[in-house]
Amino acid sequence: MECMFRRPIKEVNAEFIAEEKYLDSLQRTVRETCVSAGLSRRDVTAVHLAIEEGATNIIRHAYLYEKGTIRLRVVVYKKLIVFSLIDAGRSFQPEGAGRVDLERLVASGRKGGLGFYMIQKIMDSVEYISAAGFNELRMIKRIAPARPESRPFLRRLFTLRVKFSFWTFLSVLVIIGGAYYYIDRRTSQYLYDHLDDTVSSLAHTIAAQAALHAINHRSHVEFDELIVSYLQSNPELQLIVLTDSSGLILAHSEDIHNIRKPYKIPAFVSTAELGVPQRYRVNGQQYSYLMTPIRAGEVEIGLVHVSYSSAQIHDKLTRARWRIGVLTLVLLFFGIIGIYFLSNYFVRPIVNITRRVRRFASGDLETELPLEGAEEFFEISRAFNEMITRLSRDRKNIVAREKMAKEIEVASQIQKTLLPLELPSVPGLELDGYYRAAAIVGGDLYDVFAISPERYCITVADVSGKGVPASLVMSMLRTVIQIQSANAVSAKETLIKVNDYFEKNIPPGMFITVMLVIYESARREINFVSAGHNPMLLYKAGEGEVVRINPAGMPLGMPTTLGPAFEERLEEVQFTMEEGDAFFIFTDGITEAANREGQQYGIDRLINLFAAEMARSARLEISSLSKAIISELDDFSGFVKPADDITFIVVRSQPPESTAGMDLPPDSEEREIETKSVKNPGPEPTETN
């Protein structure tokens, strides 16, 4: 149905409950898909916002917060993503039917329409289709390629290919140039030597012929003919002069008038060097001058002077150099083009790797480099794949850990809201509660609440285990106690009802110990039960003693198959709070608090401390008592991290104004009070802890 010309790369379908708390998981799906499709970071955030608007709109307006589901479909194409949010609720007409205008929104001073405005701004196309009881909000977002950081133009010009071509060109040029220079030197040297040799042998021939003429006493004309014929057949020869042994001219190719006159040898020529060419320059042209003796037998009878030029060779060489130069340049030009394309072959694997790395960078953690190509690229690919594997594993771990930390934090916040912020005031009693979790989320509970204006429930409980599960059960427990206490006449009845609930609903292997106290303010009467909890410490002001009371009872959630039924074992204790009497209920976090040596604080220390503090602080605020207990505990355990939550409630019957505190020995005697069971007394009071 999507009339896109290309096939989709990926399609994601998911269904979510239309409640705000499920938005997070919907968003996670969207986000992951967007990231893997290569959407830029900014666009991912923007899409997140648009989807939130769309989904919130469905929850609020299509379903009016009632039950329903949101179907999410994300279809990824090469260059765009199509998001569809589909619901079966009421269809709505987007405000103003068409584009929402920001200025009008501001002018209206209302918030309606802002969401739709944002969707329109973020998405490249938005459609709302209502048909057959379903509404579809279809939004299309173009995938803009993430813009790479711009580099200076010159730097971008120097790609690997260009560099490769340039250096190859340069080295080929140097090699060719070197070779050419060498060959050129050799060749021209050879040519010049060859010319010297040729002229030298010519001069010898002329000398030999001149010698014959001289012996035969030929005329000057014949000498003249001799040199003219040689001049004509050898264009490199410039001048030929024949002289006799006394230096008089026999023949001169340029001057026939000075026959028999002395020949003036040019100044630059050394007469000593016979048979050796001597170089000289006239008007920038190079010439050579060669003198060869004319011999008749062993006797030197004259000299042949020859002057010749290397201009012809020079011209030839220059022409040859030009030709070679041009040819070389043409070949190099094609060579460079060839090298450039050849370099593609080497660079292509790098381009491939770059593309994959970029895909990885844009969030496709599944990408892998193919292990192929030259050994070097094979190694790079392998190293990269290893890196990816490790990175994505770490990332998954981090994501999981972050998620967990977040959940725990949420649980901790929920838990904090579940524990009473402030204890209610109870007529005739002073109360103080304390709670400190060992982990971020604890499993202890304390609560004080009014059942009716005359009846109050004071409770401390310890859920086995720590962390999120324990805290969830603890929050359940608090609710159940509050509900059940309203329908029960006594502590015992309340706890039996609470147990009925937990028997069915507690996770296996988990159990809860509870101390549940009900206080009737009119008669100052206490009745309480303990489901396997630590004993209550009761301070009798009259005697100045602390007793511990530990009625029988099994923890909530214990399998009933192990022994007598819960209600049969449960004992209820009743007593009246005299003025100044106090009791202390707590969890085993106190008695089991350990110090560095591994010693536990223990109940005896606690009893002594409680007795001493009660006596000392009879006229002080009750909170000073809890402070004393906490600081004593902290002193004891030092810097040892507590292993369990520490929770207690201390309750004191308000002394009349006149009653002064009584002095008591700090070491008060302790005794077990006789427990008074209401019905079905259990076999023996059990001591927890």
Partner 1 sequence: MENISISLSESDQDRVSEVRVDGVIDTTTAGELEEVMDSLLKRDRYRVVLDLAGVDYISSAGWGIFISHIKEVRANDGDIKLANMITNVYEIYELLEFDKVLKVYSSVDAAREDFPATSGHQSKKKASRSRN
Please enumerate in sequence order all residues whose Cβ is within 8 A of that of 85, keeping only pairs 6 or more positions apart, or say none.
Answer: 51, 54, 55, 58, 70, 71, 72, 136, 137, 139
CB of 363 to partner 1, least distance (A): 16
Give dist(CA 486, CA 488) in Å, integer: 6
Residue 189 in tokens: 């040297």
Return the number of the residue (110 or 186) whose C-beta is nearest partner 1.
Answer: 110
Give dist(CA 610, CA 583) in Å, integer: 9
**Candidate list 13, 45, 389, 624; residue touching partner 1; CB under 8 A:** 45
CB of 84 to partner 1, least distance (A): 20
Give dist(CA 533, CA 511) in Å, integer: 11
Does residue 25 belong to the site contacting partner 1 (CB under 8 A)? no
Ranges within 331-390 binding partner 1 (CB under 8 A): none
Of the candidate spans 48-56, 66-74, 320-328, 366-374, the one that interacts with partner 1 by CB under 8 A turns out to be: 48-56
Ranges within 51-90 binding partner 1 (CB under 8 A): 52-53, 56
Does residue 137 belong to the site contacting partner 1 (CB under 8 A)? no
**Candidate list 112, 177, 563, 564; residue touching partner 1; CB under 8 A:** 112
**Candidate list 105, 137, 506, 526; residue touching partner 1; CB under 8 A:** 105
Encoded amino acid at 39, one letter: L
Angle between helices 622-637 and 602-616 (to 10 degrees): 140
Does residue 122 belong to the site contacting partner 1 (CB under 8 A)? yes
Give the residues across from 237 on adjacent strands: 308
Of the candidate spans 40-48, 337-345, 418-426, 596-604, the one that interacts with partner 1 by CB under 8 A turns out to be: 40-48
Of the candidate spans 106-114, 146-154, 204-212, 262-270, the one that interacts with partner 1 by CB under 8 A turns out to be: 106-114
Of the candidate spans 103-111, 535-543, 557-565, 607-615, the one that interacts with partner 1 by CB under 8 A turns out to be: 103-111
Give dist(CA 552, CA 565) in Å, integer: 12
Contact criterion met (CB below 8 Å) for 582 and 536: no
Q: What 8-state DSSP symbol labels residue 21? A: G
Strands (E), 453-544: 455-463, 512-520, 525-531, 536-540
Contact criterion met (CB below 8 Å) for 585 and 643: no
**Candidate list 110, 261, 279, 523; residue touching partner 1; CB under 8 A:** 110
**Candidate list 107, 131, 154, 421; residue touching partner 1; CB under 8 A:** 107
Ranges within 138-167 binding partner 1 (CB under 8 A): none
Does residue 585 belong to the site contacting partner 1 (CB under 8 A)? no
Return the number of the residue (41 or 401) whose C-beta is nearest partner 1.
Answer: 41
Burial class (CB in 10 A: 0-12, 13-18, 19+), 56: middle
Does residue 21 belong to the site contacting partner 1 (CB under 8 A)? yes
Return the number of the residue (117 or 360) whose C-beta is nearest partner 1.
Answer: 117
Return the number of the residue (24 or 254) whose C-beta is nearest partner 1.
Answer: 24
**Candidate list 49, 269, 336, 439; residue touching partner 1; CB under 8 A:** 49
CB of 118 to partner 1, least distance (A): 5
With H, G, I as helix, E, B as strand and everything else as coil, classify residue 301. strand
Q: Is the dihedral of CA 449, 451, 454, 457 positive or negative?
A: negative
Return the number of the residue (120 or 600) whose C-beta is nearest partner 1.
Answer: 120
Return the number of the residue (105 or 301) whose C-beta is nearest partner 1.
Answer: 105
Using CB under 8 A as the binding criterion, the count of chain residues that bind partner 1 stands at: 27
Does residue 595 belong to the site contacting partner 1 (CB under 8 A)? no
Closest residue by Cα to residue 405 from 439, 443, 437, 445:
439
Contact criterion met (CB below 8 Å) for 536 and 583: yes
Of the candidate spans 107-115, 155-163, 232-240, 491-499, the one that interacts with partner 1 by CB under 8 A turns out to be: 107-115
Does residue 42 belong to the site contacting partner 1 (CB under 8 A)? yes
Of the candidate spans 97-105, 155-163, 559-567, 672-680, the one that interacts with partner 1 by CB under 8 A turns out to be: 97-105
Ranges within 277-336 binding partner 1 (CB under 8 A): none
Neighbours of 142 (CB within 10 A): 13
CB of 103 to partner 1, least distance (A): 8
**Candidate list 14, 114, 440, 488; residue touching partner 1; CB under 8 A:** 114
Give dist(CA 478, CA 512) in Å, integer: 12
Does residue 46 belong to the site contacting partner 1 (CB under 8 A)? yes
CB of 18 to partner 1, least distance (A): 14
Of the candidate spans 98-106, 138-146, 353-361, 672-680, the one that interacts with partner 1 by CB under 8 A turns out to be: 98-106
Does residue 421 belong to the site contacting partner 1 (CB under 8 A)? no
**Candidate list 117, 446, 528, 584; residue touching partner 1; CB under 8 A:** 117
Q: Is the dihedral of CA 74, 75, 79, 80 positive or negative?
A: negative
Does residue 1 belong to the site contacting partner 1 (CB under 8 A)? no
First to last CA, the chain: 69
Closest residue by Cα to residue 681 from 570, 540, 564, 530:
570
Burial class (CB in 10 A: 0-12, 13-18, 19+), 518: buried
**Chain centroid to CA 252:** 98
Helices (H), 39-126: 41-57, 102-108, 114-122
**Candidate list 31, 73, 121, 204; residue touching partner 1; CB under 8 A:** 121
Closest residue by Cα to residue 438 from 401, 465, 474, 404:
465
Return the number of the residue (113 or 467) whose C-beta is nearest partner 1.
Answer: 113
- Where does this chain bind partner 1 (CB under 8 A)? 20-21, 41-42, 45-46, 49, 52-53, 56, 102-103, 105-107, 109-112, 114-115, 117-118, 121-122, 410, 413
